[in-house]
Amino acid sequence: MDEENGEPGDPAEAPAAGNGDAEPPWTDPSPTGGSGSSTTGENPLAAMQAALRGSREPGVGADAYATLDLALRIGELMLAGGDTAASVDLAMARIARAYGLPHTENDVTLAAVGMSYLPRGDRPPVTAERRVRRRTPNYTRLIAVDRMVREAATGLLGFQQAKFRLSDIIGQPTAYPPWAQTVALSVLGGAGAVLVGGGPYATLAAFVATLLGDRTGAWLGRRGIADFFQMTVAAAIGTLVTVLLVATDAPVRAGTVIIGVVIALIPGRALVVSMQDGIAGDLVTGTTRLVEVLFVIVAILSGIGAVTYLAARTGVAISLAHLPTVPTLIAAPQTLGAAAIAVTFAVYHLVSWRFLPPVAVGGMLSWAVLVEMRGIDLPPAPATAIAATVVGLLGTAYARLTHVPALVCVTPCIAPLMPGTLMYRGMLELTAGRTGPAAIVLAEALATALAIGAGVYIGGELLRMAHPARRVLRTPRRVR
């Protein structure tokens, strides 16, 4: 066999067999249909060991490259869809083992996925990488990919079937049309206003402000404006609506409007995933995601701060008195607002409609736990961490029962916990010139945001300690 390209060499140079026609008894033809060379063809001992193991070393021919390509495409799709680095790494490894590459090294970052395979013997390594150029959360697609990986790892899906299945997943229409996502984000802003005690007018104002901010950001995005400035403009528009309400003496609690907009803009998904990656040991990806979240928060605060400062200079000062706070008793309007936030968050991230009822229950549960914790005078960060832990525990358990990624069932439920009030209060303190109190409040808001991600991860780990997830450690023979 030609060691360089895996093609048959000159028959005259082949070693003579016993009858001159058959290959030597120790020759191990490549399991990839002749597309790669085999180390056991030159090493009788390796052939004996392979026979005793009941398997053969996969080659580095066309089939091996096809397996790497399939694993990388799956990893790219999961990472772009919003999954964690640990889940992407595990899925790529399971696909590679299922289709003949048992020992691969995977590299998952926020911008790219890579895979390397080193065959035994003197063969060169095979390494490939795919860039993730656009990240658009799509939880329905994550569920489909997760189901495909499970079937492949248990031997229920052949290689060609897996390729066709992945193409179908990529080409399938989204769970909701684009206009539904826009409406969902706007309703999320209105529900955020209800959550902090806003009435019908405040809810309508927050809905309109969120809609205007989102459409303006989309318009800027189509012209190549960076995401940072899109978020800044969206937050500024929400604050401008608040300022106009204050200037016209409208019978609306102005703070509830901007807080609803802030709750809609805070990147809750990226926040949870960044903490999960960091705690799980994927420090590069976790740190990069966290920095991305911090930039978004800075953009939101910049938009709020710029408009409130200009409003104060023009004589429309927004008072710090009577700002909304988390209630200490559970009330029906706020509880329904929490359910609406969770559901609209799920729709915006393309969670299938059949998961919306349990998501609504999870949103109400997270809010109820937070209210109870605040009712016993627990500070915001610990109270939020406890609520997120409860949601992480129960949401992960439900995800196991339904065989879907935990992220799908957990992330929408923590949306009502976002620290919109603290962020708004901190910026008002800052524009009023009280730098010390502003720094304390903003630090508390950041700690509360980080507590959400940490609590979700801790909840999942508590469940794993009690009931470890069953994993397929050894895959059956490859199916073609």
37-51, 304-318, 382-396: which has the minimum mean pLDDT?
Answer: 37-51
Q: b/e string for 195-215 if b means 16 or more Cβ within 10 A?
A: bbbbeebbbebbbbbbbbbbe
Structural domain contains residue 203: yes
Q: Both 353 and 431 in a single domain?
A: yes
Q: Both 32 and 77 in a single domain?
A: no
How many beta carbons lie within 10 A of that of residue 370, not counting itself? 25
What is the sign of the dihedral through the CA atoms of 202, 208, 213 and 214? Answer: positive
Q: Both 188 and 223 in a single domain?
A: yes
**Please, are residues 289 and 109 in contact by the beta-carbon 8 Å criterion?**
no
pLDDT, tens digit (0-9, with 9 covering 90-100), for 94-146: 999 888 888 888 888 888 899 988 877 667 778 889 988 788 888 999 999 99
Q: Both 75 and 47 in a single domain?
A: no
Structural domain contains residue 1: no
User: What pTM value is reported for the model?
Assistant: 0.78
Structural domain contains residue 58: no
Structural domain contains residue 127: yes
Structural domain contains residue 209: yes
State the number of CA atoms in the 13 A half-sphere of 409 facing the CB. Answer: 24
Structural domain contains residue 24: yes
Q: Both 156 and 23 in a single domain?
A: no
Q: Both 271 and 198 in a single domain?
A: yes
Most confidently modeled range among 73-87, 125-139, 271-285 = 73-87
Indicate the residue among 171, 186, 216 that finishes a domain.
171
Structural domain contains residue 92: yes
**Please, are residues 348 and 183 in contact by the beta-carbon 8 Å criterion?**
no
Q: Both 130 and 186 in a single domain?
A: no
Q: In angstroms, rounded to a whole number, what is the distance separating the alpha carbons of residues 321 and 257?
A: 15
Q: Both 450 and 433 in a single domain?
A: yes
pLDDT at position 136 is: 83
Q: Both 437 and 452 in a single domain?
A: yes
The label of the residue with tokens 């939101």 reads 300
Q: pLDDT-based confidence at 35, cuts 50/70/90?
A: very low
Indicate the residue among 122, 156, 171 that finishes a domain.
171
Q: In angstroms, rounded to a whole number, what is the distance separating the alpha carbons of residues 330 and 312?
A: 35
Structural domain contains residue 444: yes
Structural domain containing residue 140: 68-171
Q: Both 96 and 141 in a single domain?
A: yes
| Domain total in the chain | 3
Work out whether strand 112-117 and strand 126-131 pair parallel, antiparallel, or are unpaired: antiparallel
Q: pLDDT-based confidence at 93, cuts 50/70/90?
A: very high
Q: Both 47 and 145 in a single domain?
A: no
3-class SS at 106? Answer: strand
Displacement of CA 456 from its chain's centroid (Å): 13
Q: Both 133 and 282 in a single domain?
A: no
Indicate the residue among 155, 171, 187 that finishes a domain.
171
**Please, are residues 100 and 478 in contact by the beta-carbon 8 Å criterion?**
yes
The pLDDT of residue 360 is above 80: yes
